[in-house]
Structure 1
């Protein structure tokens, strides 16, 4: 979560690709939040950061469709009051950092999590202070949280623990935190009740650890340090969760060593998009689509075609219509036989026309989906999936996306409602 990150030592020799820079140094960077964020505000903050991440260093302001933002956070897209309250909370929350600067000198600073936000015309516009934007964009300091994992959390304390531990996944341990800092990270500082370790352990530590281990892609194990009988410090050992291992966007070292990644990059796919596809679909699926696109001799833009193939689950080229051979009248056939054959031919022609019409509508859907931003596309798919009740339909859509034949009618209705007139002229 932006502003509440703690990143540990990241050795330069373990960074690959664009993360390798001459100025990378070992340091312990910490960004803490002074204030208590709700689960909704934590999730909102992560989505805003992910939406802005690629342009953090180049653009002073960022924009996202407000309806899409609401859907990604998981609340009613018409509830603008809740969105306003959450944005206000982020603007009123202070981030503080105390870290070793690039020049080797200690640097302390504070900033609001958002320098401003506004809603106008269905669009949320927002900005970070330049100093905070630089910290959030630096992979030594901050690691993006996978939103697929974030959505699983039901507790703000568990999500806070996950965020703060995930920054140390490369090093295997958070290092020791004094209990005062830990209470602050969990948003329970200032509470007399949680000054007692027994209460802190029973109500915060144990439930949060259990949810992180059950829900996320890491396993955390708390360890305590005492002075006499009093617990003074806590740290968390961290390892990958073998049951829920996911390829995270920030841990691209292993992915970049694979043949599938090399093929994607050789085709012209960006580093971030290549890792995203492999993370979301797996190497086998992406390799299958690469092979499929390679067999299409008519493709002028391989990257664009591959994007559609991965998104919509292309498995074979649309068959070209075959002209019906001219029938030679046979005087030996009865009038009834002729009528049945004509009716059958008409049915076949109608089915062929229906298939062509469906293919044309599918093409309109693919184009409409491609025109949306990545954030909007993710929200569109989740909104559609939420309306499917049949497990087979859900599985088919999960596998094939907007190319799901089993859900074709529902897909067309969904997009007609999203963009009235989308299928006009077909």
Structure 2
């Protein structure tokens, strides 16, 4: 039997949101049920049980019952912020929406049933390009929501072996909202536990280092690859070239003109996009 797979549009992988680990487990267990080959409507109901969560995560059933109910109650309030520019042109729009439109917990059965929000569905269904895929089992036993997010951000660039992430962008993506403003606290409570769990519980190994601009740490450099005994989830052949050399979101000439001395093109592209969407920089007039 084929392992349950997660398919997410890259825009959703890089969106700004915060979910607890149990909220992540509910959402991912439901995403794994989405039939990516058939149209999805906002009326489709997905159900996950405490028994399924306990088996998937190798935890006690009583613990799963307790956490599932609390997580389902919070999940309805959770929002996700997406940044996008239609067809790569025009001014980027900020779209704030909810993960789910309805969620219910059946106490006597220990199950959660939900319907995904209407605006989330296009990021989960009938994806043909610019998406990330991985097995649900890759993250099922992680106990850090940050570890799950880090794994997705690395798997998105699977095959490149390196991803440079700007710290301000990471804080925004994880919705840290002023927490861990000191880099030492960020390392202790976010980066180090997340990296440790990716190394221990996923098919990837990962190391990281920091990069400074002047005296300030501004970027984290992640280097990663498949563990020798793991079975990699490779992108489709038509997408391998794109993953090996990610397309730039901004015109190459613009990125080359504005990149820093020690920045690669992909890193500069990400930094410039962050500055544009946060109002620090104007969108270039010509995007072709």
Tell me, yes or no, whether TM beats 0.5: yes
- How far the C-alpha of 1:142 sits from its partner, in A, is 4.0
Gapped regions of structure 2 (runs ≥ 5): 1-7, 239-288
Distance 1:66 1:152, change over 3 A: closer
Structure with more helix by fraction: 1
Root-mean-square deviation (CA), in Å?
3.2
Deviations 1:228-256 (A, max 9, x none): 1110122423322224x2243x63549xx
Distance 1:91 1:31, change over 3 A: farther
Which of these residues, 62, 66, 83, is aligned with residue 98 of structure 1?
83
Q: State the match for 2:225 in structure 1.
A: 239
Q: What is the CA–CA distance in structure 2 between the aligned matches of 1:107 and 1:187, rounded to whole Å?
A: 18
2:161 equivalent in structure 1:
172
Where do 1:365-404 residues align within 5 Å?
none
Give the CA deviation at 1:150.
1.5
Q: Which has the higher contact order (CA 8 A, sep 6+)?
A: 2
1:224 & 1:148 partners in 2: Cα distance? 29
Partner of 1:149: 138
Change (3 A) 1:189 1:53: farther
Which runs of 5 or more residues in structure 1 are unaligned? 8-27, 255-426
Q: TM-score, length-normalised on structure 1?
A: 0.45
Q: CA deviation at 1:56?
A: 7.1
- How many aligned residue pairs are there? 224
Summarize deviations over 1:100-134 as a string: whole Å, max 9, x none. 43474444312111121124584643211222110
What residue is the counterpart of 1:38 in the other structure? 20
CA separation in 2, counterparts of 1:208 and 1:152?
Answer: 13
Structure 1 residue 50, shift from structure 2 partner:
0.5
Tell me which residue corresponds to 2:263: none
CA contact 1:52–1:62 (8 Å) conserved in 2 = no
Q: State the alpha-carbon separation in 1 of the partners of residues 96 and 14 from structure 2.
A: 9
Alpha-carbon deviation of 1:170?
3.8
Deviation string, structure 1 residues 149-204 (Cα, Å, up to 9, x no partner): 22332333322211222112144333432x2332344454321xx21112222333
Aligned 8 A contact 1:56 1:133 in 2: no
- 1:114–1:169 Cα change, 3 Å: same
- Pick the aligned partner of 1:88 from 68, 73, 92: 73
Q: Do residues 251 (structure 1) and 235 (structure 2) align?
A: yes
Normalising by structure 2, report the TM-score.
Answer: 0.64
